[in-house]
Structure 1
Amino acid sequence: MSRPTRVGVVGAGPRTLVLLQRLAAHAGGRPLEVHVVDPFDSGAGRVWRAAQDPLLWMNSRAADVTVLPDPSVTGLTAPVLRGPSLEEWVAQHRADLVREATAAGDDLLRQEVLGHGPASFTSRRLASRYFADAWDRTVAALPAGVRVHRHLRTVLDLADDPADGGQMLHLDGTAGTLAVDVVLLAQGHLGVRPGPRERRAAGFARDHGLAHVRPGYTSEQDLDVLRPGADVVVVGMGLAFVDLVVRLTEGRGGRFTERPDGSLDYRPSGREPRLHVGSRRGVPYRSKIEYPVPTDLGLPRFYSAQAVAAQHGDAPLDLRADLWPLIAREMAGAHYRELFRSHPDRTTLPAAEFDEAFTRAAWGSAELDALVGRAVPDPADRFDPAELDRPLDGWWGTSGEEVHARVLEHLEDDRARRGDPRFSPDAAVLAAVLSAYAVTAALHAAGRLNARSAAVDLDGWWHGFFSYVASGPPPHRLRQLAALARAGLVRFLGAGVHVEADPTPGAAAFTAGSTSGPHEVRAQALVEARLPVPDVERTSDVLLGRLRDRGEVRAHDVTDDGSRWSNGRLVVDRSARLVGTDGAPHPRRFATGAWVCGEASAAAFARPGTDAELFRHADRLAAELLRAAAAPSAPLSDLLSDPQGERR
């Protein structure tokens, strides 16, 4: 009897959970052993593990999270394991979850479970229970002959078996090796060693008795260095910033109370620092929309692969110069279609007449401006992509107080607007952004973007815009932020924030100002509130570091017209095989996830009812892994093949 096919997977998060389902389907009755190596929770991995601050939430509504295919998912190899979404799972297990929380004396979890519904933003520790249950369901449903082995360890190195080209995994705490036929790297988010700027800031803080918190995963950072009452400059206003605020306020014993009008007051514990916050935009990410997002807008209309080809042919595409005008038009078209359909009393032309003229007019033309001015009387109902993206640009406050008040006003107005169906064109814009993101990802996967756009703009400016508009915090978090601002514990610095190190003897400090006003603050601490930017050259992951040092993986690196561009991510070919510095893909090593070039925004879970691509991606990957594992045994030199084209 032949031995089972052996697949090694580094990482046990949601992506691996989905992959297990697809590996089992593709096994086709053949014996298969899957070795999953990760020191963190099965199904949840590092990011969603149970052992983290209970106050931290997911950033998606419970009704928008699943790791088990629903009937909308098509194109999968049978059999398909169906299962509940996060929201459905909590509803099914509510009584047991409440009973367990009560027995443990965990009133916070008990209250969460009792009030949990489709619109809930689930705590990460409760979500970890869902992922764990989905893992157990998946393993229990495996066909005879398919087995999963869990190794609660870290992979330190990976080597080829010189005899047959198989892979040998070296795990921490073990003397031997784990032998498999193929390996998939699916670690998810990884750490990065500090860069020169971060080392300078840390050194300055150390030399002058100050504090510095570098980019990282907020749930894992040591925030005790931020002393009660200390002035702290915070750079960044995205999701890492939101988690930071939670840990430094409620996490230190403060409490929010609700006013009759629904706004919040904050009762401090006295252990909080004072946060002086700014970023490039100077405002927090737009909050999640609280009412249904329209799905019947006929998207894409103006920004599709066909529209791009009609306008630009097969020439290399620049995201900003070539694609942004089409993206902006897509957003505007969705905005006005929803405005004319749902709020005709705020328009002066028949919807069909406006749409025909809008389609005919060139984007950015005087003709289009005149049309909008004539058909949409209230400027507040008109779509302005520049104002959406940079609401503080061109505005100047005469003092720090004025800047703070302006940002607070924006924050409260945005939160209220995102919860009011009278502004449903905002939801249409969100739908257009989601559509545009998918189109852009497809163009990138097809190799259509030029070197600079692929290396810099895609995961930088464009992903940042998408996150700001479509991946903001739960609305309640902005209610809390407004309360903290009114309480004087959060002060807004504005846009274009800049930080300097002032070494004045006896008065050393981090000083911060912004382009929004003349004010400046001095602080005893600096927090860089953002996730580390993936960079294979600076990774702190031991396995990737060793593979890199031997030239067995490489970071994205493209030279175009004499300029070098890199986004720091792992290069793989179109079959997801790792590519070395010699340009050849390894026949038995694969990678997927946020650190892989072209997958910066790859979701770890899916939205129910949307025929999510996540499952088909896992299906294709499972087929590739088993195909590679079934290749005839031979020395590695005989298995290497020519590249199929790298994913850039």
Structure 2
Amino acid sequence: MPSPSPRTSTPPSPTSDAPAPPAPRSLCVVGAGPRTLVLLQRLGAHVAASPGEHPGLDVHVVDPHDSGAGRVWREAQDPLLWMNSRACDITVLPDDSVTGLTGPVGPGPSLAGWIAENRADLVRDAAAAGDDLLREEVLRSEPGSFVSRRLASRYLAAAWRRTLDGLPPGLRVHRHARTVVDVVDAVDDVDDVDAGPGGGDGDGRQLVHLDGTGEPLAVDVVLLVQGHLDVHPGPRERRAATFARAHGLAHVPPGYTSDQDLDVLVPGSDVVVVGMGLAFVDLVVRLTEGRGGRFEERPDGSLEYRPSGREPRLHAGSRRGVPYRSKIGYPSPTDLGLPRYCTASAVEARHGTGPLDLRADLWPLVVKELAGAHYRELFRTHRERTALAPAEFDARFSRSPWGSAEIDELIARAVPDPADRFDVTALDRPLDGWWGTSGDEVHERVLRHLEADRERRTDPRHSPDAAVVTALLSTYVVVAGLHAAGRLNARSTALDLDGWWHGFFSYVASGPPPQRLRQLSALARAGVLRFLGADVRVRPDADEGVFVASSASGPHEVRARGLVEARLPVADLERTSDVLLTRLRGRGEVRAHELLDGEARLSNGRLVVDGRGRLVRADGSVHPRRFATGAWVSGEAGAPAFARPGADAEVFRRADRLAADVLRAGRPAPPAPRAGTTPAAARRELPRGRGR
């Protein structure tokens, strides 16, 4: 779809008697995805609320991909790839539930609402284009549907147009379908601006260089919202690639599945796949349906896969050895009063105000929150499966620490069936402590787990599972707030937050749609997909010239002529292939989050920003006119780009605060203070090295 036309307006000409109006300020946003879409809404609200402070603002949005969608959600990708949230759970337009925003909120439709409002037009356009796949999708789409990414891209494009149409006259958006390759300080154009705490060198206009252009954009402020980026292969990936080239094998490194060349995977060949998250699901889709196979419903309601003959044989394993948990297939409980146990006040009461360890200090509160939600839902909607009065159970559960003998005894008495009890270890690592005698036994065990998980998560009789997901969402917000307040210690901040913790959250709460697990099951029964088990290891065998995969779940080994590392690239500023970040890093103008933990130096590879989102240089100083937000900012790996309707989503407040900070950075300074005074802005703020 063509990008929407830039919104432009002509400022009134000054009269001979009136002073010339202030020059418009300018901002360059690098990236045009959903986060930028929401930011534009909040910039517009701030400008409309204080027109005298912002007489004009030019916003240059630079991204070669679709407006509103960016790279990940662009329309031009495989039509078989889906979103992993229901249409009714996605919005980029705030509603009346959202609090704490500048200016009035103009409610807009969710993805599901937009499809319903525009169904006839969407069907007509798809039919005119001869796109039967899209036409059928639109016709059958319901609020609970998991729609294709290209249909979601059309929603984002419509939301972009709606946002631009609602901007105040003084805010003009200029769209550049290019790539930013460098940003430098304009040494001959240094304004006196209010940099705020942390100001200093570079406090002037910014020159933004675009690929294929001679003249840079000269702007006052730059904001990086680049989303997910690629990285150069690390040592392990390079060794695997070198071995593959030497022996004529196929190797697909970590990457975004929609962008990868999968033609190297030969039909009928054995391929080891390491990783069983969302990238794995997309990979399987492209290698099966994407190669002409098809799924058919049997008369008994089961799903059968009809191979095309062009599929490779996939042998999949991972650390856990099972796919991500299925998304809940029915409405989740929303009136559980969460969180109750894992709150900021509870953390302070238990641990004071010192540094917190995510695993040692917060994890027990998280698990109690999940278990508490599980049992409240069980007692509320499945009373016949409990043996104690709900009020008595709740009171005793609330006053007992998680993991204590008191809680164990209480649960054993109140919940007779062990299948109704919450077990976080079984939830997280279902294959731990289990050993199969053969590859077939391991495969069948994982297949049974997959099918049982899908059945539970689509059956309201297991609604405590949905309560656990809701509780996990609430604790995720609490942990993010503690991180933003600087409460997490070095190891938790550098390693656990964007690693183990975000991985657990994604596995439990952000898995694939239930239908995808039905398809994986059908593929497994058709012999196209085999499961290897947990803690998979892959080694090169130079004698045979193959990759050899083994598992901690059984004695079996698989020899394969292909290896796919089915995961997204890990953010790493040292290895990024992004030209802009590479140049900024080379000059010491950005740095990766690196902390000392005793003698150890820890890093999560992501950008460091201060408390206002401003980029921190290698020497620890803050650039007053350069900001960053998104997946490559430390502490923001799990921050959602979308919001859930009616949930008072933090997405909008985060964007509102960032918009205020960005506008403040481009504002002219107040008059200089009288001699002998020390303005607050002159006091230097040390960078806190974390996301907002």
TM range (shorter): over 0.9
Query: Is the Cα contact below 8 Å between 1:44 and 1:131 reproduced in 2?
Result: yes
Deviations 1:300-354 (A, max 9, x none): 1111111111111122111111111111111111111111111111111111111
Shift in Å, 1:640: 9.2
Q: How does 1:50-199 map to 2 (within 5 A)?
A: 50-162=75-187, 163-164=189-190, 165-199=204-238
Offset of residue 266 of structure 1: 0.2
Q: Is the 8 A contact 1:21 1:81 kept in 2?
A: no
Q: Deviation string for 1:526-578 (max 9, x for gaps)?
A: 00000001111111100000000100000000012111111110000001000
Residues in 1 aligned to 2:617 and 2:235: alpha-carbon distance in whole angstroms: 26
| CA distance, structure 1, for counterparts of residue 118 and residue 399 of structure 2 | 54
Secondary structure of the residue aligned to 1:175 is coil
Distance 1:110 1:467 in 2: 31
Matched, 1:433 2:458: no
User: Are residues 1:417 and 2:417 paired?
Assistant: no
Per mean C-alpha deviation after superposition, the further-off stretch among 357-366 and 407-416 is 357-366
Q: Specify the alignment match of 1:322 in structure 2.
A: 361
Q: Distance in 1 between matches of 2:682 and 2:128?
A: 57
Is 1:626 aligned to residue 663 of structure 2? yes
1:26-75 residue CA offsets vs partner (Å, 9 max, x unmatched): 12332111000111001100000010000001111100111111111122
Q: Which residue of 2 aligns with 1:274?
A: 313
Q: Which amino acid aligns with 1:521?
A: V
Report the CA distance shift for 1:476/1:50 in structure 2 as closer, same or farther (over 3 A): same
Q: Which residue of 2 aligns with 1:387?
A: 426
Q: How far apart are the structure 1 equivalents of 2:596 and 2:399?
A: 39
Q: Which residue of 1 aligns with 2:30?
A: 10
Distance 1:83 1:272 in 2: 43
Q: Distance in 2 between matches of 1:642 and 1:123?
A: 48
Distance in 1 of aligned mates of 2:344 and 2:149 = 37
Name the CA distance, whole Å, in 2 between partners of 1:625 and 1:347.
Answer: 54
Q: Quick one: which amino acid aligns to residue 113 of structure 1?
A: V
Return the alpha-carbon distance in structure 2 between the equivalents of residues 550 and 224 of structure 1: 39
Task: Write the distance in 2 (CA, Å) between the matches of 1:633 and 1:544.
Answer: 33
Q: What is the alpha-carbon distance in structure 1 between the residues aligned to residue 662 and residue 376 of structure 2?
A: 45
CA contact 2:96–2:105 (8 Å) conserved in 1: no
CA contact (8 A) 1:585 1:640 kept: no
CA distance in 2 between counterparts of 1:224 and 1:641 reads 58
Deviation at 1:441, TM superposition (A): 0.7
What CA distance in whole angstroms lies between the structure 1 residues aligned with 2:25 and 2:538?
A: 55
Partner of 1:645: 687
CA contact (8 A) 2:620 2:687 kept: no
Report if the CA contact (8 A) 2:250-2:562 is conserved.
yes
2-side partners of 1:625 and 1:326: how far apart? Answer: 36
Q: For 1:359 and 1:143, locate their aligned partners in 2 and report how far apart those are by CA, in whole Å.
A: 51
Whether the aligned pair in 1 keeps the contact of 2:621 and 2:687 (CA below 8 Å) is no
Q: Is the 8 A contact 2:385 2:417 kept in 1?
A: yes
TM-score w.r.t. the length of structure 1 is 0.98
Provide the rounded CA distance (Å) in 1 between the counterparts of 2:389 and 2:413. 12
Report the equivalent of 1:468. Answer: 507
The answer as to whether partners of 1:216 and 1:529 remain within 8 angstroms in 2 is: yes
Please report how far the alpha carbon of residue 419 of structure 1 lies from its aligned counterpart in structure 2 after TM superposition: 0.6
Q: Tell me, what secondary structure is at the counterpart of 1:215?
A: coil
Cα deviations across residues 416-464 of structure 1 (Å, max 9, x unaligned)?
0001111111111111111111111111111111111111111111111
Q: How far apart, CA to CA, are the structure 2 residues paired with 1:618 and 1:218?
A: 29
Alignment CA distance shift 1:190-1:640 (3 Å): farther
Conservation of the 8 A alpha-carbon contact between 2:437 and 2:555: yes
Cα distance in 2 for residues equivalent to 1:628 and 1:172: 26
> For residues 14 and 644 of structure 1, what CA distance do their matches in structure 2 show?
31
- Alpha-carbon contact 2:95-2:108 (below 8 Å) kept: yes
Which of 301, 305, 319 is matched with 1:262 structurally? 301
| Counterpart residue type for residue 37 of structure 2 | L
SS in 2 for 1:522: strand
Q: Can you give the 5+ residue segments of structure 2 that lack an aligned partner in the other structure?
A: 1-19, 191-203, 672-678
Q: Aligned to 1:568, what secondary structure does the other structure show?
A: strand
Of 502, 510, 513, 2:550 maps to: 513
Q: Deviations over 1:253-303 (max 9, x none)?
A: 000001233321000000000000000000000001111111111211111
Partner of 2:56: 31
The equivalent of 2:17 in structure 1 is none
Cross-structure match for 2:492: 453
- For 1:375-431, what per-residue CA distance to the aligned partner results, in whole angstroms no more than 9, with x for missing partners? 111110011100100000000000000000000000000000001111111111111
The one-letter amino acid of 1:65's match is I
> Is the 8 Å Cα contact of residues 315 and 529 (structure 2) preserved in structure 1?
yes
- Counterpart of 1:616 (choices 653, 658, 667) is 653
Provide the C-alpha distance between the structure 2 equivalents of 1:209 and 1:400, rounded to a whole number of angstroms.
26
For residues 42 and 450 of structure 1, what CA distance do their matches in structure 2 show? 38
Using the alignment, how far apart are the partners of 1:157 and 1:205 within structure 2?
A: 35
Distance 1:352 1:112, change over 3 A: same
Residue 206 of structure 1 is matched in structure 2 by 245
Deviation of residue 355 (structure 1)?
A: 1.4
| Conserved 8 A contact 1:585-1:641 | no
State the Cα distance separating 1:367 from its structure 2 match.
2.3
For residues 220-244 of structure 1, the C-alpha deviation after alignment (integer angstroms, 9 at most, x for no partner) is 0000000100100000000000000
TM superposition score normalised by structure 2? 0.91
1:560 equivalenced with 2:597 (yes/no): yes
- Distance in 1, matches of 2:688 and 2:517, equals 42
Q: Conserved in 1, the CA contact under 8 Å of 2:257 and 2:283?
A: yes
Contact 2:539–2:549 (CA<8 Å) still a contact in 1? yes
Query: Equivalents in 2 of 1:354, 1:109: separation in Å?
Result: 51
Alignment partner of 2:644 out of 599, 607, 614: 607
- Point out 4+ residue stretches in structure 1 off by more than 4 angstroms: 638-641
Q: CA deviation at 1:362?
A: 2.7
User: How many residue pairs are counted as aligned between the two chains?
Assistant: 643
Alignment match of 2:530 (pick from 475, 491, 500): 491
Q: CA deviation at 1:632?
A: 3.8
Q: Counterparts of 1:279-358 in structure 2 under 5 Å? A: 279-358=318-397
Other-structure match for 1:370: 409
Structure 2 distance, partners of 1:90, 1:625, is 34
